[in-house]
């Protein structure tokens, strides 16, 4: 059997790199099952001297929300690997509510792409506006920090299916960036 590992009793121990005792745990999950929503009120300690939410605080909140989606999908620990470009298109004012929504858009062997969007809500006027949208990638790990296999994701809506298809290209770009970073690291280390 291709992709299988046999023990001395010729019993299948692993199939396609997944321990046999974990096969039943890898049921497919829907995108909706990974969805996470966080709401935060922007307080003075979250804002800068201009009275707007600090970007670093927002990025921390985004990472937390995305991690919930990744953990919900993988049923394991999840570590942030990459964050795609973040562009703040609208500042968030002191006293406004930040709505952060995330969901797994694609699952690979041990990694997951999580789509995230941030919406600011003015409680006085009721108006909402998109502030940023990006993708995070996570890897599922066990308690020893070793990567583990994650369940497949099932996109259901047309938007989810498009994001699922497009995720492969985004992943290729991230892997190319990782190769460039590894080369830069080697070059840096060799010059020390």
Closest C-alpha among 98, 114, 118 to residue 106: 114
From CA 48, how far away is CA 45, in angstroms rounded? Answer: 8
- % of the chain with per-residue pLDDT over 90: 79
- CATH class, domain 29-179, is alpha beta
For residue 166, what pLDDT is reported?
96
Which residues lie across from 136 on neighbouring strands? 83, 114
**Lowest-pLDDT range of 100-109, 158-167, 179-188:** 179-188
What pLDDT does 22 receive? Answer: 52
Q: What is the pLDDT of residue 192?
A: 77
pLDDT one-digit tens code per residue, 3-62: 433 334 334 344 444 554 454 457 899 999 999 999 999 999 999 999 999 999 999 999
pLDDT, one tens digit per residue, over 141-164 is 999 999 999 999 999 999 999 999
Distance in angstroms (rounded) separating the CA atoms of residues 129 and 89: 10
pLDDT above 60: residue 179: yes
- Cβ atoms of residues 158 and 135 within 8 Å: no
Rg (C-alpha) for the chain, rounded Å, is: 20
167-173 mean pLDDT: 94
Give me the residue spans of the domains in the chain: 29-179
Lowest pLDDT segment from 15-24, 110-119, 177-186: 15-24
Name the E strands within the chain. Answer: 4-6, 12-15, 18-19, 29-30, 36-41, 77-83, 97-107, 111-121, 128-141, 153-154
Per-residue pLDDT averaged across 74-96, rounded? 96
């Amino acid at each position: 059997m291709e992709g299988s590992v046999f023990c001395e009793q010729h019993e299948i121990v692993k199939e396609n790199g997944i321990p046999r005792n974990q096969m039943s745990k890898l049921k497919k999950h829907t995108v909706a099952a990974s969805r996470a929503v966080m709401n935060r009120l922007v307080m003075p300690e979250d804002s800068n001297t201009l009275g707007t939410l600090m970007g670093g605080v927002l990025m921390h909140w985004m990472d937390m929300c995305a991690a919930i989606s990744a953990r919900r999908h993988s049923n394991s620990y999840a570590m942030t690997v990459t964050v795609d470009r973040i562009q703040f298109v609208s500042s968030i004012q002191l006293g406004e509510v930040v709505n952060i929504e995330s969901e797994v858009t694609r699952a690979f062997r041990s990694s997951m792409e999580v789509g995230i969007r941030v919406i600011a809500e003015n409680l006085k006027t009721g108006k909402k506006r998109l502030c940023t949208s990006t993708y995070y990638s996570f890897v599922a790990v066990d308690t020893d920090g070793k990567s583990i296999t994650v369940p497949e994701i099932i996109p259901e809506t047309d938007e989810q299916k498009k994001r699922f298809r497009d995720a492969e290209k985004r992943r290729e770009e991230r892997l190319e960036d990782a190769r460039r970073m590894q080369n830069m690291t080697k070059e840096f280390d060799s010059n020390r």
